[in-house]
Amino acid sequence: MVEAKKNSQSKVKNVAFRVVKATVKAVLVYLLYFFFASLLAPIFEVVSGSMGTIETFVVIFIVLMFLGDLAEHTIFQYFLGTARSLFIIAYLVLSLGEGVVSVDFENFTLTVNLTTFYMIILLLSLLDLARSVLQAVSFMSERAERSIQL
């Protein structure tokens, strides 16, 4: 009875710790975004509509990260990690297309070729995706090993 109570207390503590950790991480990431957004505000003003799109991206990214941290030590953590990587790839492909961004302001047209960055970000996202899959496989194999040992 006492042990069950201790176990339940430890579980609550564990969940509370995860919530606090996930919240702090999410707030830190949002603050980082806030800092960069205010720093780069003049550029966002030139590219109309970019601020809204980036904010949506950051919000979805933070939500997936928050949920992933909440689901720590479960298989869902890796699912959410995979979803986050796929979301970054999908966002890049949809927003940047071929990697050449063209913006009109006043009577000027600004064309920025972001292909190099596009490729680097895609590569890093693919590495993150691969890591999440590997972590999921590792997690499942460890659980299977533990159940065999028991």
Under rule CB under 8 A, which residues in 62-121 are in contact with other proteins? 107-114, 116-117, 120-121
Of 1, 2, 3, 42, the one binding other proteins by CB under 8 A: 42
**Secondary structure of the chain as H, E, C letters:** CHHHHHHHHHHHHHHHHHHHHHHHHHHHHHHHHHHHHHHCHHHHHHCCCHHHHHHHHHHHHHHHHHHHHHCCCCHHHHHHHHHHHHHHHHHHHHHHCCCEEEEEECCEEEEEECHHHHHHHHHHHHHHHHHHHHHHHHHHHHHHHHHHHC
Q: Does 127 bind other proteins (CB under 8 A)?
A: yes
Closer by beta carbon to other proteins, 18 or else 131: 131
Of 52, 98, 141, 145, the one binding other proteins by CB under 8 A: 141
Question: Which residues are near other proteins by CB under 8 A?
Answer: 36, 39-40, 42-43, 107-114, 116-117, 120-121, 124, 127-128, 130-131, 134-135, 137-138, 141
